[in-house]
C-alpha cells in the first residue's frame, strides 16, 4: 500500500484528481468505480474543473457506483444516483448511458438476479480500472458493514445503526433514513485493478489506523485493502494522526519523489 499524507482536504482532493485524470488521459475508455459521501466531493469538483478549464474528456469513460439506498428512486434527491448526477455526471461530458448506479427500486424478488447482472455488466466493461473509496466510521467500504464476508459480492445489505445515524445528516429531520442498501461486495471491490482510498478529518483517524495497521478482519471491511496489490491511500494529516508508521510513510514518499526526480 502506498500511503500519501497531504496537509489538508484540498490537497487530498487535488492529488486524487491527478491520479484519476492521469488514468483517463492514458486510457480514455477506462472504467472507473465511484463512491459517494462527503469525502470524494473535492475530487469530483476538481475533475469538473479539469474538464472545464483543461479539456479533460470523459466521453469514452464508463463508471460503476459502489452502492445505493434500497427503496430510493434515482430521481429522489437523497439517492446516490442523484448525488452523482448533481456533483459529477451532469457537469462533465460523460454519456449518461455509460454511468451505472445500483437501482434502489429493484423489486425484492428480482434482487438476486439484478445484483448478478450488475457484476456481469462490470465484467463486460472490462472490469474496474480504478476504484475510488471512502471509509465509514465503522470501517466499512461501500456499505460492507462489520461482519460482511471479505469475499462478498453485490447484494442487499442491512445498514448498521451507526451508519444510519451518520447518514441521517443528508435527510431532513423526522425523515426515515433507509435501513437497507444495494452494495458491491468486498470481493467485488478487491477485483478492481487499482484502488484509490481517501479519508480526511480527525474523526476518521482511529478507524483509518485500524483499517491500515490492524489485523485483516471482516469487523473492519476496509482492512481487506491490505490484501490488494495496488492501493493508494491519500489522507490529510488529521486522518493520518493515529497511524503508528506515520514517519515511515512520510519518509518513503519523500524517497519515491527523489527517485522519480530527473538526474542531472
Q: Is 119 in the site for ligand GLP (CB under 6 A)?
A: no
Q: Is 220 in the site for ligand GLP (CB under 6 A)?
A: no
Smallest distance, ligand GLP to C-beta of residue 141, A: 7
Sign of CA dihedral 228, 40, 60, 103: positive
Smallest distance, ligand GLP to C-beta of residue 171, A: 13
Smallest distance, ligand GLP to C-beta of residue 116, A: 21
Smallest distance, ligand GLP to C-beta of residue 260, A: 30
Nearer to ligand GLP, 4 or 84 (CB): 84
In whole angstroms, what separates CA 87 from the centre of its chain?
14
Kindly identify the residues of this chain, within the stretch 46-75, that bind ligand GLP according to CB under 6 A: 66-67
Q: Is 35 in the site for ligand GLP (CB under 6 A)?
A: yes
- Residues in the interface with ligand GLP (CB under 6 A) total 13
Smallest distance, ligand GLP to C-beta of residue 81, A: 13
Q: Is 186 in the site for ligand GLP (CB under 6 A)?
A: no
Contact with ligand GLP (CB under 6 A): which of 15, 19, 37, 206? 37
Show the site string, 70-109: x = touches ligand GLP by CB under 6 A, - = not: ----------------------------------------
Dist. CA 242–CA 49, nearest whole Å: 32
Contact with ligand GLP (CB under 6 A): which of 2, 8, 18, 38? 38
Q: Is 163 in the site for ligand GLP (CB under 6 A)?
A: yes
Nearer to ligand GLP, 119 or 160 (CB): 160
* DSSP result, the chain: -EEEEESSHHHHHHHHHHHHHHHHHH-TT-EEEE--SSTTHHHHHHHHHHHHHH----TT-EEEESEEETT--TTSTTSHHHHHHHHTGGGS---GGGEE---TT--GGGHHHHHHHHHHHHHHTT--SEEEE---TTS-STT--TT--TT--SEEEEPPHHHHHHHGGGS-TTPPPPSEEEE--HHHHHTSSEEEEEE-SGGGHHHHHHHHHS--BTTBGGGGGGG-SSEEEEEETTTTTT-TTHHHHHHHHHHHHHHHSPP-
Smallest distance, ligand GLP to C-beta of residue 29, A: 25
139: left (phi over 0), alpha (psi -120 to 50) or beta: left
Nearer to ligand GLP, 127 or 203 (CB): 203
Q: Is 39 in the site for ligand GLP (CB under 6 A)?
A: yes
Kindly identify the residues of this chain, within the stretch 123-162, that bind ligand GLP according to CB under 6 A: 134-136, 142-143
Residues labelled catalytic: 67, 138, 140, 145
As beta bridge partners, residue 71 has: none
Contact residues for ligand GLP (CB under 6 A)? Answer: 35-39, 66-67, 134-136, 142-143, 163
Amino acid at each position: 500500500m502506498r500511503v500519501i499524507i497531504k496537509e489538508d482536504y484540498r490537497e487530498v482532493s487535488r492529488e486524487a484528481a491527478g491520479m484519476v485524470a492521469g488514468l483517463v488521459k492514458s486510457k480514455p475508455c477506462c472504467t472507473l468505480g465511484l463512491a459517494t459521501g462527503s469525502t470524494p466531493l473535492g475530487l469530483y469538483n476538481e475533475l469538473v474543473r479539469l474538464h472545464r478549464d483543461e479539456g479533460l474528456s470523459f466521453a469514452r469513460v464508463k463508471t460503476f457506483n459502489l452502492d445505493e439506498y434500497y427503496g430510493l428512486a434515482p430521481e429522489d434527491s437523497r439517492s446516490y444516483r442523484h448525488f452523482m448526477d448533481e456533483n459529477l455526471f451532469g457537469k462533465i461530458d460523460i454519456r449518461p448511458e455509460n454511468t451505472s448506479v445500483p437501482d434502489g427500486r429493484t423489486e425484492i424478488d428480482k434482487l438476486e438476479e439484478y445484483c448478478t447482472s450488475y457484476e456481469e455488466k462490470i465484467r463486460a466493461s472490462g472490469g474496474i480500472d480504478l476504484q475510488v473509496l471512502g471509509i465509514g466510521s465503522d470501517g466499512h467500504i461501500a456499505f460492507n458493514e462489520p461482519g460482511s464476508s471479505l469475499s462478498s459480492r453485490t447484494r442487499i445489505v442491512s445498514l448498521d445503526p451507526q451508519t444510519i445515524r451518520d447518514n441521517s445528516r443528508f435527510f431532513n429531520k423526522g425523515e426515515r433514513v433507509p435501513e437497507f442498501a444495494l452494495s458491491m461486495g468486498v470481493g467485488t471491490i478487491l477485483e478492481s485493478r487499482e484502488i484509490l482510498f481517501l479519508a480526511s478529518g480527525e474523526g476518521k483517524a482511529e478507524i483509518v489506523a485500524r483499517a491500515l495497521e490492524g489485523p485483516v478482519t471482516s469487523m473492519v471491511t476496509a482492512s481487506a485493502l491490505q490484501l490488494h496489490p495496488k492501493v493508494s491511500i491519500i489522507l490529510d494529516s488529521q486522518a493520518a494522526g493515529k497511524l503508528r508508521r506515520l514517519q515511515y510513510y512520510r519518509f518513503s514518499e519523500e524517497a519515491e519523489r527523489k527517485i522519480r526526480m530527473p538526474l542531472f
